[in-house]
Amino acid sequence: MTELLKDLTPRQIVAELDQYIIGQHDAKRNVAIALRNRWRRMNSPADMQHEITPNNILMIGATGVGKTEIARRLAKIADAPFIKVEASKFTEVGYVGRDVESMVRDLVEQSVNMVRSAKKEAVQVRAQQLVEDAILDILIPSVKPVPNGQVGFENENKGDSDAELNERTRERFREKIRNGEMDDRKIDIDVQQSQTPNIGVMGGSVDDLSMMNIQEMIGNMMPKRGKKRKVTIAEARTILLEEEAAKLIDMDEVKEEAIRKAEDAGIIFIDEIDKVASARSGNGGGGPDVSREGVQRDLLPIVEGSAVNTKYGVIHTDHILFIAAGAFHVAKPSDLIPELQGRFPIRVELQSLSEDDFYHILKEPRNALTKQYVAMLEAEEVGLTFDDDALRELARIAFEVNGEVENIGARRLQTVLSHLMNDFMFDIPDVIGANAHVVVTKDLVNEKLNGLVKNRDLSQFIL
């Protein structure tokens, strides 16, 4: 059995998260514990394993402070299937819209993709060889060994030497194919095409699952047709590699493992959970509130643990880790129905980000925005550095605009920086060419942005 859960310790998990997310220590600690607890469960005595329930987490915090980012990174670290859904997008079963079970199906889909590509990776070398063989067969149709008897009086050894010669030629060509010398040469290949017609359902009350099943069924019924295509060897390699790798992996095994991976390691992130909680204050009990509560009731069995049908098989949701998040500006966590509250026992509050946090966010994460710009300009062979006081100034401006216009958290850094860099991105490489070096100074930041910040009407639209 391949390892489903990596055995990272809570401290290691936090250290990994620290490389991408500034601050939010409480949230990091708690997701780290939740993740480790799953490993603990998997490695606990068998009779207890099924008793241990996951520590679902409710993240509370304003927009753009890192809620989604933490969950997303967590899944990457854990190599876990991960999906993010918006609670507000769901509708109660029986109404038009997405039903909540679709999130579990999406998770399995994700898991299948992960397992399939891992398996493909594992058969890569073997598949590559098969592809080379296939291309060689097309390039030099092998001299078929002459059947015995028909050779008659011909020299017995002749067949042998033909075969040897053939083999030598093949090896020579194999070498050329391998080091790309023949990449541009065109050959004819057969490509498999399964034809799945697009079926539209009229007046449809068919849910996603049945729809998928119908699609797949009809796809399987249609004959797979081989179609000849003229392509370069380089293209052929990509196309054939896909086919050969697919032939080498056992899809039943993939499905089974994917289900298990989703069950034991899956993470479902339910965003905007506060949007389906309704402040009970003016309890009129009518209108939209009813259906919101309906969504919560539909969520309940999934979060509590139930069996969901997917096209890959039945999946039990008991040990999936659910992380719900919301700003809870209007509704409070206590406005969720009690059963659902009980299913998210761990509450973490994320802090609003300070000007100082912004400065660190600009500079430090592995995927920091400034690093992204440096990387993009590197592609143009243009150097880029940001002065430290320029970063401080950017952080100050972003913070100020958040205060004046609307607080969108760290997302503001993106708009501010993109406005700052806009002219450079346009002038490179035509005006500012290779080997130039751009230095972003505090003065430059002020020159490009201060006018905008002062003009509230403008900054509303631009920053």
Residues engaged in binding Mg ion (CB under 5 A): 67-68
Per rule CB under 6 A, is residue 64 in the interface with ligand ATP?
yes
Please choose, out of 16-24, 75-83, 236-244, 372-380, the segment that lies near ligand ATP by the rule CB under 6 A: 16-24
What does R_g of the chain's alpha carbons equal in angstroms? 29
Nearest-angstrom CA–CA distance, 254 and 265 = 15
Long-range Cβ contact pairs of 313-317 (< 8 A, separation 24 or more): 313/255, 313/256, 313/259, 314/259, 315/104, 315/107, 315/108, 315/259, 315/262, 315/263, 316/263, 317/104, 317/263
- Contact between 333 and 57 under an 8 Å Cβ cutoff? The reply is no
Q: Which of 37, 53, 63, 407 binds ligand ATP (CB under 6 A)?
A: 63
CB-side neighbour CA atoms (13 Å) of 10 = 14
The verdict on 54 binding ligand ATP (CB under 6 A) reads no
75 binds ligand ATP (CB under 6 A): no
Query: Quick check: helix, strand or coil at residue 28?
Result: helix
With CB atoms as reference, the residue minimizing the distance to Mg ion is 68
Nearer to ligand ATP, 240 or 361 (CB): 361
Q: Which of ligand ATP, Mg ion, none does residue 66 bind to, with CB < 5 to 8 Å depending on kind?
A: ligand ATP
Nearer CB in complex with ligand ATP: 37/63? 63
**Across-strand partners of 307?**
316
Residue 365 in contact with ligand ATP, rule: CB under 6 A: yes
- DSSP annotation of 273 reads G
- Nearer to ligand ATP among residue 89 and residue 185 (C-beta): 89
Q: Is 361 in the site for ligand ATP (CB under 6 A)?
A: yes
- Tell me whether residue 294 or residue 326 sits nearer to ligand ATP (CB atom): 326
Kindly state the smallest distance separating residue 364's Cβ from ligand ATP, in Å. 8
Tokens at residue 215, please? 């699609």
Q: Are strands 186-193 and 307-310 parallel, antiparallel or unpaired?
A: unpaired
Selection from Mg ion, ligand ATP, none that 65 binds (CB < 5 to 8 A by kind) is ligand ATP
Task: Please state, in angstroms and as integers, the Cα–Cα distance from residue 399 to each residue in 123, 229, 390, 412, following that order.
Answer: 51, 57, 14, 8
Q: Residue from 411, 418, 419, 432 that binds ligand ATP (CB under 6 A)?
A: 411
323 vs 438, which CB is nearer to ligand ATP? 323
Does 363 engage in binding with ligand ATP (CB under 6 A)?
no
Contact between 16 and ligand ATP (CB under 6 A)?
A: no
CA neighbours closer than 13 Å in the CB half-sphere of residue 97: 14
Binding site for ligand ATP (CB under 6 A): 21-24, 61, 63-69, 271, 327, 361, 365, 409-411
